[in-house]
Structure 1
Amino acid sequence: MTIYTVNKKKFELKNVEETVIGSIEYQSSNFSEAVVLLADTFNLQLIATGVWVTIFNDVAAEKVMTNIKVEAGGTMSIRKFYKRKKYTFKKSANWKLRFSLFNADGDELLTIVPTVNWKNESHDFNLQLNEDFENECDAFLILQALHCANCSLSMMQGGSVPALISA
């Protein structure tokens, strides 16, 4: 799978045949609201400082699918409620900027390597999936990780940084 940057607010996830299988489109440049398109449509929205939820708008009721939260130490957590799983999104400490997504056991599921795209005033992303965990890395999770990468890059480049308070 590959991530294609359409513009600074829209990103597409393509399969090996270059068919679009999902996308995320932000409503504003501060990443507070987005629409995630897969087979179904989901709304990603900022509900508190450093906390986003992804909601599936069913005919019967809204269902919260994930909760993304900025944690201490520059990490972000993704909780998938429907599968009862938690993932950790981290920036590498190496000189080369890269982001990794880990499952609860500490296994690296995927890596996202950003490069500056001056033409789109955004970033292009190189997606690297761990073959041993491809079944766990569905398109929905990859787009959630891409959202974490966009928010992290925004914070590193002077965007709003959530206040972290220990409760």
Structure 2
Amino acid sequence: MAEYQAKSINSLYFEVTNNDKLIGKLIYKNWFKFSAEIEILNSKYQIEPKGFWGTTVELRDGGNVLLKFTMNWNGDIVVHTYFNNIEKDYVFKYRGIFKDSFALTDEHGTELLIMKPNFKWNSLNYEYQITTTDAFENFSQKGTLLINSLHCANYYMSMMMSAM
């Protein structure tokens, strides 16, 4: 089990840390599109919406799609990964008003991480407290999945705000 913090320097730039050690960055090009860049160690990945409405979002390493996600009819975000040519599915979902958190689960419904949003009124930005399970910590691509989960949370918040 590990604890991570995702802090927004401004509304377009997030840093994810564990015990004050930088894990990676999520950098948006602008808030009107969901295009972004993920930096983990010395690697950079591109996040781009696809399709006419941009309802599918892909994370790419050059020309290779590492994962993609879409929001389904009930508000859950279905994440399909293709790490090392192995396909896996995950679900990223909002867990209600009273729990006020997000959860990433595997195909069996086992929770892998919990994200608790915290809105900072002084900067008008969100920060997240992220708790992962031991199973998640053993993933070889945990950094990529962790920062993509941050993008999913921001995507969800943006979609819900635009629906209001």
- Shorter-normalised TM range: 0.7 to 0.9
Q: What is the RMSD computed on CA atoms of the aligned residues?
A: 1.8
- The one of 48, 55, 58 aligned to 1:53: 58
Alpha-carbon shift at residue 134 of structure 1 (Å):
1.9
Which amino acid in 1 is paired with 2:73?
A
In structure 2, C-alpha distance between the alignment counterparts of 1:132 and 1:54, rounded to whole Å: 22
In structure 2, C-alpha distance between the alignment counterparts of 1:73 and 1:55, rounded to whole Å: 26
| Counterpart in the other structure of 1:33 | 35
TM-score normalised according to structure 2 size: 0.87
Gaps of 5+ in 2: none
In structure 1, C-alpha distance between the alignment counterparts of 2:143 and 2:154, rounded to whole Å: 16
- The one of 114, 135, 139 aligned to 2:138: 135
In structure 1, C-alpha distance between the alignment counterparts of 2:109 and 2:36, rounded to whole Å: 29
- The one of 118, 121, 127 aligned to 2:121: 118
Gaps of 5+ in 1: 162-167
| Residues 20-55 of structure 1 deviation map (CA, whole Å, 9 limit, x = unaligned) | 121110001134200110131100011123210011
Give identity over the alignment, percent.
23
1:153 aligns with 2:157: yes
Alpha-carbon shift at residue 132 of structure 1 (Å):
4.1
TM-score normalised according to structure 1 size: 0.85
In structure 2, C-alpha distance between the alignment counterparts of 1:74 and 1:88, rounded to whole Å: 10
Contact 2:91 2:105 in 1 (8 A): yes
1:64 aligns with 2:68: no
Report the secondary structure of 1:72's partner residue. coil
Which amino acid in 1 is paired with 2:24?
G
Alpha-carbon shift at residue 158 of structure 1 (Å):
2.3
1:87 aligns with 2:90: yes
| Residues 87-138 of structure 1 deviation map (CA, whole Å, 9 limit, x = unaligned) | 1001113423111000111100001111111233221111111234321371
1:2 aligns with 2:37: no
| Counterpart in the other structure of 2:15 | 12
| Counterpart in the other structure of 2:76 | 75
| Counterpart in the other structure of 1:164 | none
| Counterpart in the other structure of 2:108 | 105
In structure 2, C-alpha distance between the alignment counterparts of 1:30 and 1:87, rounded to whole Å: 26
In structure 1, C-alpha distance between the alignment counterparts of 2:162 and 2:113, rounded to whole Å: 26
In structure 2, C-alpha distance between the alignment counterparts of 1:15 and 1:95, rounded to whole Å: 26
Report the secondary structure of 1:23's partner residue. strand
Which amino acid in 1 is paired with 2:12?
K
In structure 1, C-alpha distance between the alignment counterparts of 2:146 and 2:75, rounded to whole Å: 19
In structure 1, C-alpha distance between the alignment counterparts of 2:36 and 2:81, rounded to whole Å: 18
